[in-house]
Amino acid sequence: MKNFFIPVMLFLLSASGFAQNDDSTTIKKIVDETMTHGNAYNNLRKLCKQVGARLSGSPQYARAVTLVSQMMKDAGADTMYVQACQVPHWIRGEKEKGQIISGGKTYDLKLCALGNSVGTGDKGITANVIEVRSMAELNQLGASGLKGKIVFFNFPMNPTYINTFRAYGESGVSRTRGPSLAGRYGAIGAIVRSLSSNLTDYPHTGVTVYNDSFPKIPAVAISTNDAEYLSSEIKKRNPVMAYFRTTCNMLPDNTGYNVIGEIRGSQFPREIITVGGHLDSWDLAEGANDDGSGVVQGIEVLRTLKASGVKPKRTIRAVAFANEENGGRGGEKYLSEAKAKNEKHIFALESDEGGFTPRGFSLEMNEAQLNKILHWKNLFYPYGIYNIGPGGSGSDVGPLKNIGTALAGLNPDSERYFDIHHAATDVFENVSERELHLGAANMAALIWLVSEYGM
């Protein structure tokens, strides 16, 4: 038996070696194309400078749809279309004001309303501030400690987590769930420390989620520097009062759009592969890293595959999703259309962690699919991707899990992301051309492999 098996195994090994060799040649061609003629950076400049901030429901979002539709066509999409969906339409209103009132002095806060928050009313709110550093502390204080107060959620991101998304996940509950819980205990307002890795004067916005069973109280984020100051004031001279005024408001739903560009598969056109990110952004900046970069990388995958002359066997769709930031309606719409049309979605890759230098892919799929991709691991190593394994994908492609699609997320280096995430500093100038393109190149390589071998 031994003697029989050895030649067979050698044959199998070398056959697999040849395949990988061919694949690595094609992948080099793909990566070289993106690194030499990549257009993602130019597209991102246009999106950031010609449109800029594009919150769901805003006129700017509509302009972004027009611009990105043209980009899809220019990239070589065979077909371009949009999917309309109803999206929340929250507006920030007037520039927010806020102060700390302590020791007979006032201190002006650098602050912004949290997304989807109610406003304070014209007079604003003023109350004593209670600082909490954990949800357990909040619950312990309860109604007796919090009624009539402003709760200050001071949850610094843990600097020892090398993957900053882990720290964001842990401290993020202060912003997403904190204000609603504070409302439950009778607090009249919430001040949240910005979810940022560094100490600056910029407030970082982001969605807060109200539980409809609890009173909805106004919520703002203050800069990390101000959070440090407020905390130190409270330590020095309790009680400290705060005032803030916001005129933000949730208007009736408006129409948003997923923008879709497609290259039809040459052999299995009914098998669909999705790649992209979300087109909406917060209103404070250009949404360059969140998530302009994911959108232009998705478009670049189309352009690169077209320009490098590989003919994908399966259909590839670049999608710019609507309304990731404060509703997720674009991703839901994409799923419902897929179901209605009985589409076969085999794979979806999202880039929504910034346009930074790529380091890995995280895979949300069954074990056989996971192993298939892990088998390709060495093909990515020369291009900076060394960390492929199970993990989350992205909130826009997430709903496709419902119909069994294998999902993946691009994992760029995360060290700089929360310096600028949801703040006025998320601008085009904070994106590197080579980093953005290297991410797109690796995405194109993975998309091509799946288009070639299925999932």
Q: Which residues pair with 100 in a beta bridge?
A: 107, 242
d(CA 138, CA 153): 9
Q: Which residues pair with 99 in a beta bridge?
A: 108, 243
Helix (H, G, I), strand (E, B) or coil at 425: coil
Q: What's the min distance (Å) between Cβ of 384 and a copy of itself?
A: 6
Q: Which is nearer to a copy of itself, 20 or 198 (by Cβ)?
A: 198
Q: What's the min distance (Å) between Cβ of 420 and a copy of itself?
A: 10
Q: What's the min distance (Å) between Cβ of 315 and a copy of itself?
A: 28
Q: Is the peptide bond before 426 cis (omega within 30 degrees of 0)?
A: no
Q: Which is nearer to a copy of itself, 247 or 351 (by Cβ)?
A: 351
Helix (H, G, I), strand (E, B) or coil at 91: strand
Could you tell me the maximum CA-CA distance found in the chain, to the nearest angstrom?
Answer: 91
Q: Which is nearer to a copy of itself, 34 or 116 (by Cβ)?
A: 34
Q: Which is nearer to a copy of itself, 168 or 334 (by Cβ)?
A: 168
Are 403 and 341 within 8 A, CB to CB?
no
Supply the Cα-derived Rg of the chain in whole angstroms: 24
Q: Which is nearer to a copy of itself, 396 or 413 (by Cβ)?
A: 413
Amino acid code (one letter) for 314? R
Q: Which is nearer to a copy of itself, 78 or 429 (by Cβ)?
A: 429
Q: What's the min distance (Å) between Cβ of 38 and a copy of itself?
A: 9
Q: What's the min distance (Å) between Cβ of 437 and a copy of itself?
A: 8
Q: What's the min distance (Å) between Cβ of 198 and a copy of itself?
A: 6
d(CA 434, CA 355): 10
Q: What's the min distance (Å) between Cβ of 27 and a copy of itself?
A: 12
Length of the chain: 455
Q: What is the DSSP letter of 95?
A: P
The token pair at 25 is: 């040649």
Amino acid code (one letter) for 147? K
d(CA 1, CA 8): 11
d(CA 275, CA 95): 36
Phi, psi of 240 (to 5 degrees): -115, 135
Helix, strand, coil % (nearest 5) of the chain?
Answer: 40, 25, 35
Q: What's the min distance (Å) between Cβ of 165 and a copy of itself?
A: 13
Q: What's the min distance (Å) between Cβ of 361 and a copy of itself?
A: 15
What residue ranges bind a copy of itself (CB under 8 A)? Answer: 31-32, 35-36, 159-160, 162, 164, 197-198, 357, 359, 382-384, 386-387, 413, 415-416, 419, 432-435, 438
The token pair at 438 is: 């290297």
Q: Which is nearer to a copy of itself, 31 or 335 (by Cβ)?
A: 31
Buried-state track 52-66, b at ≥16 Cβ within 10 A, e below 16: bbbbbbbebbbebbe
Q: Which is nearer to a copy of itself, 124 or 360 (by Cβ)?
A: 360
Q: Which is nearer to a copy of itself, 18 or 386 (by Cβ)?
A: 386
Label each residue of 20-81 as H, E or C. Answer: HHHHHHHHHHHHHHHHHHCCHHHHHHHHHHHHCCCCCCCHHHHHHHHHHHHHHHHCCCCEEE
Q: Which is nearer to a copy of itself, 156 or 178 (by Cβ)?
A: 156
Q: What's the min distance (Å) between Cβ of 422 and a copy of itself?
A: 17
Q: Is the peptide bond before 239 cis (omega within 30 degrees of 0)?
A: yes
d(CA 43, CA 297): 9
Q: Which is nearer to a copy of itself, 83 or 432 (by Cβ)?
A: 432
Q: What's the min distance (Å) between Cβ of 346 and a copy of itself?
A: 29
